[in-house]
A = this chain, B = another copy of it.
Amino acid sequence: MPSKKTTSNIHFMDGLLVFIPLTIALYYLKSPALLTFIAAAISIAALSHVIVESTGIIAQRVSNTISALINATFGNAIEFMIAIFSLRQGLIELVKASIIGSIIINVLLLIGLSMLFGGLKYKEQKFNKDSAGVSSTMLIIVVVGLVLPSMFQLVQGRSIPAMSIAVSIVLGVVYILSLFYTLVTHKHLFIVEREVSAGPQSHKWPFATALTALVISVGLASFIADLLVQSINPLISNLGLTQQFIGLVIVAVLTNIPENISAIAFARKNNMTLSLEIGMSSALQIALFVAPILVILSTALTGTTLNLVFSPFALVAVIATAMIANYISADGICHWLEGAQLTAVYILIAIAFYFI
């Protein structure tokens, strides 16, 4: 019974909400930063699960356009919060790395684990290579845009702030155009999918409960995210971890746990098409929505200017990721070995960032 599995997942994640008071206690008792960080990270994961659940329920009751905007905003709320608090602490490299890391994780790790765990149950899984192809073509085009300022910096030896703004505006326009495509000109392609993906969770909470849960969990998440970010600086000085590793691996994993869990769950139900779609569209939202907004609003909101000049190795990793996304979506078939290979590439990239 697949629904049982889902239920137990929800319970498991909801149970982790007890880490919220623990985090607050640890912070005010001035416990070691590592303990506070871990407790805060678990709380954030639990809260982001509640946010995703309640957003899903609310999104079903409103028009498609509002629903898409709600999903994009609240689906990335934790990313935004951590980014803004980090920028206020001057952790610019961490924020940049978490942008790149989220794209990499949503493609390599999310799809890799889905193919691996799905493949352990089913000998061979098929997915709709047309829809995966459209997403992955979009991803490569978007990544080319996203990396242009870094490439420029890399090969010309100087960076031009206006270029990051210009790229962000163009990417933002592409995002608005893609909403227009999804909601207006080609909405017939997306209606079925939305119903399928909403399926199992739809009867959990009534609307009012969901709305209350959303407001409370966003408020709490904002508070905990602040504590999390405050415990990063001691982490860097004590453990010798770099901003890049924390952003690209730890923060990026943390903020993408709900997507990973639901993608793996769909893979175990042999709906690999949806698993890929979750990974690709999460990666696209980071590049087209989260990154441009952060670049354009960073100075006003945090006093720190964020640009799109990523470290060269992050660049290599994200380009390789976008290319791999295209190769895996080309054949429409997958099995556990392909999942293991994708996971292996992610592990290799994470190892490399550990050494940076």
- Which A residues have a C-beta under 8 Å from some C-beta of B? 123, 129-130, 133-134, 136-138, 140-142, 144-145, 148-149, 151-152, 154-156, 160, 162-163, 166-167, 170-171, 173-174, 177-178, 181, 185-186, 311-313, 315-316, 320, 323-324, 326-328, 330-331, 333, 335-338, 340-342, 344-345, 347-349, 351-352, 355-356
Bound CA span A320–B177, Å: 22
Contact of A313 (CB < 8 Å), options: B151, B173, B324, B342: B151
A352/B141 in contact, CB under 8 A: no
With contact pairs A156-B313, A312-B155, A340-B174 given, residues A349 and B148 touching in the complex (Cβ less than 8 Å): yes
With contact pairs A345-B141, A345-B145, A349-B148 given, residues A130 and B355 touching in the complex (Cβ less than 8 Å): no
State the Cβ distance, A320 to closest chain B Cβ, in Å. 5
The 4 closest A-B pairs by CB, nearest first: A155-B312, A181-B337, A133-B331, A141-B341
Query: In this complex, what residue of B is CB-closest to A131?
Result: B331
Bound CA span A177–B342, Å: 13
B155/A313 in contact, CB under 8 A: yes
Query: In this complex, what residue of B is CB-closest to A341?
Result: B141
Question: In the assembled complex, which residues on chain B have CB atoms less than 8 Å from the CB atom of A327?
Answer: 136-137, 140-141, 326
20 contacts between A and B (CB under 8 A): A134-B331, A137-B330, A137-B331, A140-B327, A141-B341, A141-B345, A142-B341, A144-B320, A144-B345, A148-B349, A152-B352, A152-B355, A170-B344, A170-B351, A171-B344, A177-B337, A177-B340, A181-B335, A181-B337, A186-B335
